[in-house]
C-alpha cells in the first residue's frame, strides 16, 4: 500500500465540510466579498468535482435559486467560476478551476492597470508639487511596483505548481 500525501482525500465528514464552508466564506467576507458569493464559491471549491448545479448549491447551502443566481453572476464577473452546460441537459453547472486564484489575481492585475491610468491622470491634473498630487504619485508608484511584483510572483507560482502538482 502506498503512503498517502496530504493532498489525497480523507474520509468526508459532512458536518466538518459545512463548518469549513462557513468559516472560509466568513474569511472571504472579511476580505471584502459579499456573503452569498463567498458561500457559493466555498461550496463549489470543496465539492469533489469542483462543479455544482444551482439545485445542488441551493440544497447544500439552504438558499434560494435567486440567491444562487446572484452569487454566480458576481463570481463569473470576477472570473472565480465559469458556467457550462451539463452534458445532455439544459441545466447549467458552475465550475471552479485548479487555477482559480491565479485567474482571480490576473483579473486584479487588469484592474490595477486601469487604476494606474487614472492615478496618472490625477497626478497630471493636480501637479506633483501639490500635496494631493504627491499622494497620488506615491499611490501610482505603489501600484506600478505591485503590478511588476505580481507578474514575477505569478511566473514563480506557475513553476512551483508544476513541480508540486505536475502539468495540468
pLDDT tens digits for range 20-61:
999 999 999 998 999 999 999 999 999 988 999 999 999 999
- State the pLDDT at residue 106: 67
Bridge partners of 52? 94
| Residue-range domain boundaries for the chain | 14-95, 100-165
HSE-CB of 20 using CA atoms within 13 angstroms: 13
* 10-20 average pLDDT score: 84
Question: What residue spans of the chain are helical by DSSP H?
Answer: 14-30, 35-46, 54-61, 65-77, 100-126, 131-165
Averaged confidence pLDDT in the chain: 86
- State the pLDDT at residue 10: 54
CATH topology of domain 14-95: Arc Repressor Mutant, subunit A (1.10.10)
pLDDT tens digits for range 110-129:
778 888 999 999 999 999 99
- State the pLDDT at residue 29: 94
State yes or no: pLDDT of 1 exceeds 50: no
3-12, 137-146, 157-166: segment of lowest average pLDDT: 3-12
Q: Which residue has the higher pLDDT, 54 or 107?
A: 54
Please answer whether residues 62 and 36 qualify as being in contact, where contact means their C-beta atoms are separated by less than 8 angstroms: no
- State the pLDDT at residue 2: 40
pTM score, whole prediction: 0.70
Amino acid at each position: 500500500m502506498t503512503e498517502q500525501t496530504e493532498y489525497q482525500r480523507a474520509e468526508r465528514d459532512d458536518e466538518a465540510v459545512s463548518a469549513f464552508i462557513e468559516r472560509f466564506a466568513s474569511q472571504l467576507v472579511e476580505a471584502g466579498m459579499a456573503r452569498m458569493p463567498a458561500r457559493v464559491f466555498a461550496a463549489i471549491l470543496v465539492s469533489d468535482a469542483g462543479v455544482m448545479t444551482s439545485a445542488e448549491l441551493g440544497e447544500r447551502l439552504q438558499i434560494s435559486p435567486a440567491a444562487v443566481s446572484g452569487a454566480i453572476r458576481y463570481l463569473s464577473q470576477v472570473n472565480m467560476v465559469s458556467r457550462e452546460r451539463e452534458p445532455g441537459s439544459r441545466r447549467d453547472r458552475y465550475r471552479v478551476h485548479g487555477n482559480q486564484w491565479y485567474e482571480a489575481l490576473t483579473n486584479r492585475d487588469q484592474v490595477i492597470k486601469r487604476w494606474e491610468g487614472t492615478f496618472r491622470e490625477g497626478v497630471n491634473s493636480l501637479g506633483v508639487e501639490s500635496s494631493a498630487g504627491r499622494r497620488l504619485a506615491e499611490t501610482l508608484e505603489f501600484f506600478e511596483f505591485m503590478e511588476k511584483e505580481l507578474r514575477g510572483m505569478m511566473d514563480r507560482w506557475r513553476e512551483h505548481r508544476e513541480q508540486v502538482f505536475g502539468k495540468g
